Amino acid sequence: MSKIKIPRKTNDLLRLADQIYTKHTELGANSPVDSLDWANLATKITQAQEKHDQAEQMRKSAENLREERDNLMADIIIGVRKSRDLLKVKYGNDTRQLGEFGFIVDD
Residue pLDDT, tens place only, 95-104: 999 999 999 9
3-state secondary structure the chain: CCCCCCCCCHHHHHHHHHHHHHHHHHHHHHCCCCCCCHHHHHHHHHHHHHHHHHHHHHHHHHHHHHHHHHHHHHHHHHHHHHHHHHHHHHHCCCHHHHHHHCCCCCC
Q: pTM (2 decimals)?
A: 0.69
C-alpha span between 39 and 85 (Å, rounded): 68
Task: Decide if pLDDT at 7 tops 80.
Answer: yes
pLDDT one-digit tens code per residue, 62-71: 999 999 999 9
Q: What is the mean pLDDT of residues 40-61?
A: 97
